[in-house]
Amino acid sequence: MTVRRALPAGLAALALVVTMVTGLWPASGQAAHHPAAHPGSHAARTVDDVLYFDMYAHGRKEPRRIFLTANSGPYLKKITWKHWGTEKAVGRGVYVSDCASCPPPAHRKAVITLRTVVACADVVDAHAYKKGRVVLAEPDEGGTDRTFALPAGCPPS
C-alpha cells in the first residue's frame, strides 16, 4: 500500500476506533439506542419523521409520485403537498391511467388526503399516515365513482 492510500485508510480506522471508544457506535451484538415516540405520542414527532410507505415499504416524505400497482397500472404524479406532518396532509397531482387495459380518460386531476399519524413500531423514529383517500376530478369513462382508498400505514413487520 502506498503512502497516498495508507494515510486515508489510517485516518478512517482511527476515526472508527475513536467513535467506538466514545460510545457513539454500538458494540457488536448491541442495537443502537434511539428513543422512539410511544404510539399516540406526538411530542417527539417532527415533520421529517412522517413518511408515506409505498407498496415496496420504502418510506418517503412528501412523495411526488405514488404507484398504485406494481406493473404498468395507474399512478399519481406531480404531487405537491400542504400540511405534511400534521394529522391531515393534502396533496394535489395528476392521476395517470394510460395503460392498455385502463379506462379513459388517461389523465385527471387528483386530490390525495392522508390522515391520522401513527408511530411505526418496527421503524425507529418513523411515523406514517394510517389512512389515505384519492378523489379524481372525473370518473372512469362509463363510471360514476371518483373516490378510492389509498393504501397507507406502517410497513409490515
pLDDT higher at 151 or 19: 151
pLDDT higher at 35 or 130: 130
Q: Which amino acid is it at 136?
A: L
Backbone angles phi, psi at 47, to 5 degrees: -60, -35
Q: Partners of 81 in the beta sheet?
A: 91
DSSP 13: H
What was the pLDDT predicted at 48?
A: 73
pLDDT in tens, 47-82: 678 999 998 899 999 999 999 988 788 999 999 999
C-alpha grid cell, residue 131? 389512512
Q: Please report where in the chains the cell 405520542 appears, as a residue.
A: 41
C-alpha grid cell, residue 93? 397531482
| Count of CB atoms situated within 10 Å of the CB of 87 | 12
* Rounded Cα–Cα distance for residues 3 and 122 (Å): 45
Residues 6+ positions from 106 with CB-CB distance below 8 Å:
96, 97, 98
Domain boundaries, the chain: 1-31, 34-149
Peptide bond preceding 105: is omega within 30 degrees of 0, i.e. cis?
Answer: yes
pLDDT in tens, 104-124: 999 999 999 999 999 998 888
Is the Cβ–Cβ distance between 89 and 52 less than 8 Å?
no
C-alpha grid cell, residue 76? 399519481
